[in-house]
Structure 1
Amino acid sequence: MKKTFVFSSIFLVSILLLATLSVAAQTTIRVVLWDYEMSPEYHELINTFEEKNPDIDVEVVDVTSQDYGDKLTVMLSGGEDLDVFAVKDMPGYSNFISMNHLEPLNDYIERDNLDTSIYSGLMEEIKIDGEYYAIPFRTDNWILFYNKDIFDAAGVEYPTNDMTWPEFREKAAAVTSGSGSDKTYGAFIQPWMSLATNLGVLKEEGATTLANGEDYDFLKPGYELYLKMQYEDESVMPYGEATTSSAHYRTQFESGKVGMVYIGTWNIGALISDKKAGRHDVNWGIAKSPHWADMEEPDTAISIVTPMAINSNSDKKEEAWKFIKFAGSEEGAKIFAKHGVLPAVKTKDVLDVYTSADGFPENSAAALEAKKLLLEFPPAPNAGVISSIIQEEHELIMLDEVSIDEGIDNIERRIDMELNW
């Protein structure tokens, strides 16, 4: 009896020792995300990662979306113990690089032979001075949404995946009808600067961006198109009315009184969920972003990229690298796609997962594909200043208070004064 007790005690101590050693061998990384509790895709991503890497435990620091940029900046500047964080926008990304908060990734990428081509050019878009500082895990492309019933009633063919911007204007005019409160607009232009400047960046096919700080003549075609639609065709709600009434693309399109909306892919999930909730009954479809006729690669889209980065002060960089690499992998992409979040990796298998969602428009997967993705406003040291100036002049141009040429001259003059004062 005594021997049995001694053996059992030794066995129990051994088990406890092994368990202690196992726990001790586990590394905890702290990952900063926004709205984690409301984001099931993050929960599944982290659970899957931990299953694949039992030696790594992920502790999430959850920050509300509206406070994310400011709070993350404070945490990083204060030296808080953080290892990985999602970067919400490119101005923030530029700022973090200038403050030396981001770990350079070139050595990790080269060592692991990471194929950066799976991100459709986005890795090159966020490269700074030859250095990578983050891995894209989510993107939103600008695409075209259209109301099939409005097109059917007007006897006009639906938008296609190979449509030019002048054709977009023609279709908008063709499906516009009625007047006053009964008017159906051919398109709705959300009063955001990007809705106009995107068209100029597209025309340049990556040769320039809003961050260039010098020559902004490339913005002319987009403004010319929209002003003609607004004042000649009257096929879109006037900019002033859209601004003062706080008109929103989502409610405008879901009202069934708008033929087309050029907006981001995030609207797909909104339309699906709103229809299930009984908020609208629009028979809708999607198509690729229109292009300019003289583009060498018309299959191009403007993208908004969300990357993950490693804190340069982290003492767990290898574990952090494993996490961001997984988040940006095809396997990670399928997890995001399953939850209706468009990932940065858009292979056929990933898009099959994304487009299989109940309510996704039939035979529309091709609308999400693009051979080339561009950033309207890539990382730049003076992004905040440049953006503010363009926004102010954009409003004056769209309100027809200054001519397009005057507005562009003002943009160039003011940016030159600010940057070379």
Structure 2
Amino acid sequence: MRKRAGLTLAVALAAGVLAGCSGGSNGAGDSNGTNGANDAGGSNAADAGSGNKPSGKTTTIDFWQLDGTGTQDFYVTLIKQFEQAHPDIKVKMANIPEDGFFEKLNAAFAAGKGPDMWGGWYSPDEFERGYIAPLDEFIARDDYDMNKYFQPATALRLKGTDGHYYGLPRDMSNAVIYYNKDLFDKYGVPYPTPDWTLDDFRDAAKKITHADEGIYGTDLFASDFNAITGNPIIWNMGSDVASDDGKKVKGFVDSPQMIKLFQYAQTLSKEGVSAPSSVMQTAGDQGPFSAGKIGMSLGFLWGYNDIKKASFKAGAVGFPKEEGSTGNFAWTEEVSWYMNNKSEKKDATWAFMKYLSSPEVGKQAIDTRFMWGPPMPSVWEEKGLEQDELLKVFLEQAKLPTKAPSYDRNRTWNEVASMFSQAYTDVVNPVDGKSYKDPAEVLPKTADEMQAKIDELLAGQ
């Protein structure tokens, strides 16, 4: 589970989009779909540089994004507001499904084209390829304060190894444990507390599980992402999945702490408290937790609206730790905006990037069905989000130290992730009647195989 994307907007990727990409002449043109848009959140575009005088020449920038259908009206409204504040800039938007989005981008860039601006996420070593524009010139020119965003998360995601920024954050999302208060009440289990331990988690999961009723304690160990790469538990155990630069997994994937975490996950699986694949796959579009089948679930801010619509009372809490653990990390992610290094319209693109990453748009995102969590703590506090029982936990987590997830450190992770996933399946969720494997035997071999592949890939760069 990464970021959710939905179906295409009516403005889908087409040959005409590629034909109008950066590198061509500046042309006049209307923004796609802005006619008749609902003005969701007002027309405040102060941070967009309102007051710019028309130059008599219109610059059209191409903008690609991969968000679901529920966000498209909001984007149309934002573009309309931006264009009103910048009469000499038009934004041509294309919505492309997440599946295939980056492939289409890469194909366009390989052809010397590509949009002027797009949304997405990358590991910092991707910036070394040169097609994403560094932003330091614009940041310095405008005395633009990057510290207004959640840090260090923003620097971890958007700074290259050269120290330059390569994007602006659209949002902030981190991970928590959502829990079903109704199930806790039904089975007489005390609610989790911020200082709970892995033993407390296991005990609660066992008490909530009633397989004969289709109720399971947790889905936290349903996959390697849920259990490890999508939360901070292994960090708080004093270990990691990889080195900070993502180039070393030997000594991490096979560390004593990782073996211990795999053993813990295997125990919960053997005890029957982890939701089986049959439940995970058939509980509906919003997942088994939203369907009321799971007591405790891995939760992200991107799923906040689904949880608010659930038919039960939900709570949120930080992650359980080992008894005596001194680690205090949170897992934080961002979707960000990037600029094409070959764009001939960088000034106009920078203006639009600043606008979409501004406090004003962040406030509108909150007011418009909570489209996303703003990347600025000041906006959270100004809007009083700490008064919301769920959102206050996300805000607390966002202020903790964090690391980049393993897949956001080096792009080689994409080539070895399946090896790690297979190891997790063999140890925790064996299929086709296979027996559980010993993590102390599996993980050293997996670490060797992963490291050999990473070394091969790095040598070929």
- Looking at structure 2, the residues matched to 267 and 188 of structure 1 have their Cα atoms a distance apart, in angstroms, of 15
Q: SS where residue 347 of structure 2 aligns? A: helix
Label 1:311 to 1:294 Cα distance change in 2 as closer, same or farther (>3 A). farther
- Looking at structure 1, the residues matched to 238 and 122 of structure 2 have their Cα atoms a distance apart, in angstroms, of 20
Label 1:135 to 1:296 Cα distance change in 2 as closer, same or farther (>3 A). farther
Match of 2:139 among 106, 109, 112: 109
Q: Give structure 2 stretches of 5+ with no counterpart.
A: 1-52, 457-461
Match of 2:295 among 254, 259, 268: 259
Letter in 1 for 2:227: A
Residue 416 of structure 1: how far off its partner (Å)? 2.5
Match of 2:440 in 1: 405
Match of 1:290 among 320, 326, 333: 320
Match of 2:199 among 166, 174, 177: 166
Match of 1:192 among 223, 230, 254: 223
Match of 1:125 in 2: 156
Match of 2:390 in 1: 364
Match of 1:303 in 2: 332
Letter in 1 for 2:217: G
Match of 1:236 in 2: 274
Deviations 1:16-67 (A, max 9, x none): xxxxx94733322211112476413322332333333333221112223322
Label 1:412 to 1:116 Cα distance change in 2 as closer, same or farther (>3 A). same
On the 8 A contact 1:119/1:344 being kept in 2, the answer is no
Residue 183 of structure 1: how far off its partner (Å)? 4.7
Deviations 1:311-348 (A, max 9, x none): 00011112212222222232222222233233352425
Q: SS where residue 142 of structure 1 aligns? A: strand
Residue 302 of structure 1: how far off its partner (Å)? 1.2
Label 1:56 to 1:22 Cα distance change in 2 as closer, same or farther (>3 A). same
Letter in 2 for 1:255: A
Q: Does 1:90 pair with 2:122?
A: yes
Match of 2:96 among 58, 63, 67: 63
On the 8 A contact 2:236/2:326 being kept in 1, the answer is no
Letter in 2 for 1:104: P
Give runs of aligned pairs for residues 378-417 of structure 1, distance below 5 A: 378-398=408-428, 399=430, 401-417=436-452
Residue 190 of structure 1: how far off its partner (Å)? 6.0
- Looking at structure 1, the residues matched to 105 and 190 of structure 2 have their Cα atoms a distance apart, in angstroms, of 48
Match of 2:61 among 20, 26, 29: 29
Match of 2:403 in 1: 374
Q: Does 1:215 pair with 2:251?
A: yes
Q: SS where residue 326 of structure 1 aligns? A: helix
Residue 221 of structure 1: how far off its partner (Å)? 4.1
Q: SS where residue 90 of structure 1 aligns? A: coil
Letter in 2 for 1:283: K
- Greater shift in the superposed pair: 259-268 or 200-209: 200-209
- Looking at structure 1, the residues matched to 324 and 74 of structure 2 have their Cα atoms a distance apart, in angstroms, of 40
On the 8 A contact 1:123/1:132 being kept in 2, the answer is no
Deviations 1:370-409 (A, max 9, x none): 2134332223141211222212222112136421122321
Match of 2:364 in 1: 335
Question: How many residues are treated as equivalent by the alignment?
Answer: 382
Match of 2:38 in 1: none
Q: TM-score, normalised by structure 2?
A: 0.73
Q: SS where residue 170 of structure 2 aligns? A: strand
Letter in 1 for 2:111: G
Identity fraction in percent = 20
Residue 148 of structure 1: how far off its partner (Å)? 1.0
On the 8 A contact 1:102/1:133 being kept in 2, the answer is yes
Label 1:236 to 1:396 Cα distance change in 2 as closer, same or farther (>3 A). same
Residue 246 of structure 1: how far off its partner (Å)? 5.7
Residue 82 of structure 1: how far off its partner (Å)? 2.2
Deviations 1:68-96 (A, max 9, x none): 11111112221225211112x436x754x
Q: TM-score, normalised by structure 1?
A: 0.79
Structure 1 or 2: more helix by fraction: 1
Residue 133 of structure 1: how far off its partner (Å)? 1.3
Q: Give structure 1 stretches of 5+ with no counterpart.
A: 1-20, 276-280
Q: SS where residue 57 of structure 1 aligns? A: strand
- Looking at structure 2, the residues matched to 32 and 346 of structure 1 have their Cα atoms a distance apart, in angstroms, of 23
- Looking at structure 2, the residues matched to 288 and 173 of structure 1 have their Cα atoms a distance apart, in angstroms, of 19
Letter in 2 for 1:334: K
Match of 2:20 in 1: none
The structure having more radius of gyration, on CA atoms, is: 1
Q: Does 1:225 pair with 2:264?
A: yes
Label 1:365 to 1:55 Cα distance change in 2 as closer, same or farther (>3 A). same
- Looking at structure 1, the residues matched to 204 and 283 of structure 2 have their Cα atoms a distance apart, in angstroms, of 22
- Looking at structure 2, the residues matched to 228 and 68 of structure 1 have their Cα atoms a distance apart, in angstroms, of 38
On the 8 A contact 2:172/2:372 being kept in 1, the answer is yes
Deviations 1:247-273 (A, max 9, x none): 679442233332111232222212334
Q: SS where residue 341 of structure 1 aligns? A: coil
- Looking at structure 1, the residues matched to 200 and 245 of structure 2 have their Cα atoms a distance apart, in angstroms, of 25
- Looking at structure 2, the residues matched to 326 and 101 of structure 1 have their Cα atoms a distance apart, in angstroms, of 22
On the 8 A contact 2:170/2:337 being kept in 1, the answer is yes
Residue 202 of structure 1: how far off its partner (Å)? 4.6
